Structure 1
Amino acid sequence: MSWLSRVRNSISFLPKRQTTDTLWHKCKKCGSMVFTKEWEDNLMVCPRCDHHDRIRAHSRFEQVFDEGAFEVLPSTDVREDPLKFRDTKRYTDRLKAARASTEEKDAFLNARGTIGGRQAIVGVQDFAFMGGSMGVAVGSAFVAGVEAAIAARAPYIVFTAAGGARMQEGILSLMQMPRTTVALEMLAEAGLPYIVVLTDPTTGGVTASYAMLGDVQLAEPGALIGFAGQRVIEQTIREKLPDGFQRAEYLLEHGMIDMVVHRAELRERLGTLIDYLAPAEKAAA
Structure 2
Amino acid sequence: MNQDDGTEVFEEHRPVLDGVAYRMLGRVADAEDVVQEAWLRWSSADRGRVREPRAYLVRVTTRLAIDRLRQVQARKETYVGPWLPEPLLTDLAPGSAREREDGAERAVLAESVSLAVLVVLESLSPLERAVFVLREAFGFPYAEIAEVLERSEPAVRQLAGRARRHVDERKPRFEVDPRQQRELTQGFLRAAIDGDLEALLGLLAPEARLVADSAGRAKAPRQILFGADKVGRFLAAVGPQGRMPSFDYRFLEINGSQGLLATVDGVPDTLFLCDVADGRIQSVYVVRNPDKIARFAG
Using structure 1 for the length normalisation, give the TM-score.
0.27
Name which structure has the greater RCO, CA cutoff 8 Å, separation 6+.
2
More helix by share: 2
